[in-house]
Structure 1
Amino acid sequence: MKLSVLQKYGEERLPRYTSYPPSPEFSPSVDVDTYATWLSQLPRGAPASLYLHVPFCRSMCWYCGCHTTVTAKDQPIVEYLDLLRSEIQMVAAQAAQPLQVERVHFGGGTPTIIAPADFVALTDLLRDRFALMETAEIAVEIDPRTLTIEMAGALGGAGVGRASLGVQSFDPVVQSAVNRIQSEETTLGAVERLRQSGVSSINFDLIYGLPHQTVRSCIDTAKVAAAMRPDRLAVFGYAHVPSFKKHQRMIEEATLPDSVARMEQSQAIADTLVAAGYVQIGLDHFALPDDDLSRSQATGTLRRNFQGYTTDNCETLVGFGASAIGHTRHGYVQNQVGLGFYAGSVASGRLATARGYRLTDEDRLRAEIIERLMCDFTVDVREVCGRHGFDPAVLLADNRRLAELADEGIIDVAEGIVRVPRDHRFLVRAAVAAFDAYLHRSGRGHSQAA
């Protein structure tokens, strides 16, 4: 890849395209009443996914981009759980019939900050208020540093089948620079406790582009991680947005790698994991060959949502908790972000919806094209437009960014088929942006494309 091309496109601030339109386009015009109507109109028997956000941690990792709060006390967590249970019951009451739930995901923050008995009680409430399928996958995000034997047992007893462990980097220099000290032994101990408790599917999260990170340390981390044999790994580029995440100001910008170094680190991790027997999934995920994610990619049915690449085909996602995002066939909704505002809404007996977005037919068209490019690195624009009843010229004609990318060799365009060559897949978000009608309109910061 030409250095000039990487510098030009790799340093762009672009959405991660886990949704379209991206969340900065959400507005208060989609409110509590809108969401209540959408819930009442959910089709009978349609499968749904649930997401529960637990916005608490015991310490702040300086790279973190999540909505979370540090607390050393348990009382704020107990009070929050009361609100979460109330919201679950309100949402369940709005639906015309019990939702047929295929997936449940606990995110954060640190969901396992909840007391073991409270976690079990929360999953019992979900089973009571919704129709959880016997094959439903329950997944939880975990900080290995705080996972106890008791909590691992509670997760297995509650039916959790998948756990995503934050690893990021095993380099002690990097760990110190981001305020997250986590030894290999700590991580392996968490993995063993989970597997012994019946949580059979393990995911790891790794990050490149962190302060003081090098290609060598990325390779070493990937080798250690692969030796623990997680089923999947997600490898994200650090998004430095200190204007939105104040704690990121603790990171010295001079210690961050540039776009060239970020690409080299990403590629080094990918090469290491592939050599260890993993299949690269889309841009930044990896899975064992017999994993559902690998099979989904092979059959062209890979999807992308707020958790990254997934096999989740549910059209309905119901989000619970402060800042949680959900969607229906009508559009997106997001809860109040601030804990105080969230608490005020739920305590008053109202849904916590703060904003959202009502999808148009053109949004759905662009969303499918963007998703297919992110998942498959190729899309037949004419074919997709035909199914949506649109003239492909709407997307292809006078598309200056598309033409520019083709001239640079980042994409190939022929007879309406857009393809990102293998050696430019690192810049796939730059290609996807050619179909984003909202880019640069909101002025909101995003992460680097590379």
Structure 2
Amino acid sequence: MNAEIIRRYGESRLPRYTSYPTAPRFSASIGAGTYRDWLMAVPQAEPVSLYLHVPFCRSMCWYCGCHTTITQKDAPILDYLTVLKQEIGLVAKTIGRRQEVSDIHFGGGTPTIITPEEFLDLTATLTAAFGIGATTELAVEIDPRTLTVEMAEALGTAGITRASLGVQSFDPKVQKAINRIQSAEQTATALSNLRKAGARSVNFDLIYGLPHQTVESAIDTARIAAAMRPDRFAVFGYAHVPAFKKHQRLIDTAALGDAHERHAQAEAIAATLCEAGYRRIGLDHFALPEDQLSIAADHRALHRNFQGYTTDNASTLIGFGSSAIGRLAEGYAQNDVAIGRYANLISSGELATSKGYRLTQEDRVRAFIIERLMCDFQIDFAAMPDGFALPDESIGADNLPLQGLLAEGIVNWRGDMLTVDTEHRFLVRTVASCFDAYLGEAGRTHATAA
């Protein structure tokens, strides 16, 4: 691999493209009234996806980029759950029927910070408000350090089908530097309990580019984790943005690797997982051949949303909780990030939308192109959906960033097909950014491209 290409492109800060346009484009022009109209227009015949945000943890992991609050008390969590259930009822009433649901995802924070009884009560509220059945996928993000047997059993009772466990690194030096001490034994126990509870697919999250991380420690972590045989891995690059996440200032920047070191760690993890029998899916996911993510990739049916690569093909995603983002046919709607303001709005009987974005037709076209590039590493411009077209300058000689990538062999054209070169797939976000009409606007901060 050309070290100059890694240095030049790998240090660029780019979106992860889990949505397009990305969140920095959201504005306060989209409020509760607009969101209400969009919910009332949700097609009756199409199942929707639900995302529930539980923004609480018992301790702060210093690498974290999520919206979360640290609390040792249960009262704030109980108050929040009361409001969350109110929001579920409010949204269902706005839709005007018991809408069928294909997928439910609990994220955080740490969703399993609540008690088993509280979790079952929350899922019962969902079942009363929405059409949730035997085919509905139920996914939960889990901290293995705090998952109890009782909570795993409650997840099984609720119908869990997928679980995502945070691992990051098993290197003690790295764990100390990120304030997350977690043993392999804790992780294996959580995995076993989730399997017993009925989780058909379990994902491990790994991170590269952490302080004091090396290629060797990244390989060791990947080997230990792969030996446990989770069904999937998500391998993310650490995004150091201390200006936005102040707790990241506790991380020693001198202990962070450069773009070349990050790339070496990422590729070492990838090679280790592939040697262990996992298939590389998209930019940063890995799955066993029989997992649904692998099957979707084979059929070019992979999708990308706020949780990363997914088999969820619902066109409507409804977000619940503070900071949660919904995606509807008309655009994106995000709840207020501040828990207090979110709670006050919902408690008063009002939707808590604080900002969002109304999609244009051009946005939809660009979103389609970016998603297919991120999922398939190629886009066939001759096979675009009806009515999906971009001006020639967006894909032709006037697209100077794209022309630069063509000249360097990072992408190539074959007829109407644009393909990311296999050796340069780690730069797929750079390729996707060539079709981002809003890239470079003031105030946007993203993770490095490699």
Q: So what's the TM-score if we normalise by structure 2?
A: 0.98
Task: Measure how far apart 1:45 and its partner are.
Answer: 1.7
Letter in 2 for 1:347: S
Show the counterpart of 1:232. Answer: 232
CA distance in 1, matches of 2:193, 2:134: 24
Show the counterpart of 2:140. Answer: 140
Show the counterpart of 1:309. Answer: 309
Show the counterpart of 1:343. Answer: 343
The reply on whether 1:352 has 2:352 as its aligned counterpart is yes
CA distance in 2, matches of 1:438, 1:422: 27
CA distance in 1, matches of 2:27, 2:57: 28
The reply on whether 1:22 has 2:15 as its aligned counterpart is no
Letter in 1 for 2:422: R
Show the counterpart of 1:59. Answer: 59
CA distance in 2, matches of 1:100, 1:177: 44
Tell whether the 8 Å contact from 1:41 to 1:96 is kept in structure 2 after alignment.
Answer: no
**Mapping of 1:273-312 within 5 angstroms?**
273-312=273-312
Task: Measure how far apart 1:379 and its partner are.
Answer: 0.6
Q: Counterpart of 2:313 in 1: which secondary structure?
A: coil
Number of residue pairs matched by the alignment: 450
Task: Measure how far apart 1:310 and its partner are.
Answer: 0.5
Pick closer, same or farther for the CA change 1:391–1:439 going to 2, 3 Å.
closer
Show the counterpart of 1:412. Answer: 412
CA distance in 2, matches of 1:390, 1:323: 32
CA distance in 2, matches of 1:291, 1:9: 32
Tell whether the 8 Å contact from 2:201 to 2:291 is kept in structure 1 after alignment.
Answer: no
Q: Counterpart of 1:329 in 2: which secondary structure?
A: coil
Task: Measure how far apart 1:103 and its partner are.
Answer: 0.5
90-99 or 384-393: bigger deviation? 384-393
Cα displacement string for residues 20-65 of structure 1 (whole angstroms, at most 9, x for unaligned residues): 0000000011110000000001111211000000000000000000
Runs (4 or more) in structure 1 with deviation over 3 Å come to: 389-395
Q: So what's the TM-score if we normalise by structure 1?
A: 0.98
Task: Measure how far apart 1:395 and its partner are.
Answer: 3.2
Show the counterpart of 1:5. Answer: 5
Tell whether the 8 Å contact from 1:385 to 1:391 is kept in structure 2 after alignment.
Answer: no
391-400 or 321-330: bigger deviation? 391-400
CA distance in 1, matches of 2:264, 2:184: 24
CA distance in 2, matches of 1:297, 1:143: 28
Q: Which consecutive unaligned segments of at least 5 residues does structure 1 have?
A: none
Tell whether the 8 Å contact from 2:394 to 2:435 is kept in structure 1 after alignment.
Answer: no
Tell whether the 8 Å contact from 2:49 to 2:104 is kept in structure 1 after alignment.
Answer: yes
Show the counterpart of 1:424. Answer: 424
Cα displacement string for residues 142-169 of structure 1 (whole angstroms, at most 9, x for unaligned residues): 0000011111111111111111000000
Show the counterpart of 1:159. Answer: 159
Q: Which consecutive unaligned segments of at least 5 residues does structure 2 have?
A: none
Letter in 1 for 2:342: Y
Show the counterpart of 2:42. Answer: 42
Q: Counterpart of 2:167 in 1: which secondary structure?
A: strand
Tell whether the 8 Å contact from 1:42 to 1:96 is kept in structure 2 after alignment.
Answer: no
**Mapping of 1:119-134 within 5 angstroms?**
119-134=119-134
Show the counterpart of 2:178. Answer: 178
Letter in 2 for 1:233: F
Letter in 2 for 1:291: D
339-348 or 322-331: bigger deviation? 339-348
401-410 or 60-69: bigger deviation? 401-410
**Mapping of 1:342-421 within 5 angstroms?**
342-384=342-384, 387-421=387-421
CA distance in 2, matches of 1:144, 1:286: 20
**Mapping of 1:192-341 within 5 angstroms?**
192-341=192-341
Identical counterparts, % of pairs: 59
Q: Counterpart of 2:366 in 1: which secondary structure?
A: helix
Letter in 1 for 2:350: R
Task: Measure how far apart 1:214 and its partner are.
Answer: 0.5
CA RMSD of aligned residues (A): 1.1
Show the counterpart of 1:434. Answer: 434
Task: Measure how far apart 1:97 and its partner are.
Answer: 2.3
Task: Measure how far apart 1:392 and its partner are.
Answer: 4.4
CA distance in 2, matches of 1:394, 1:196: 51
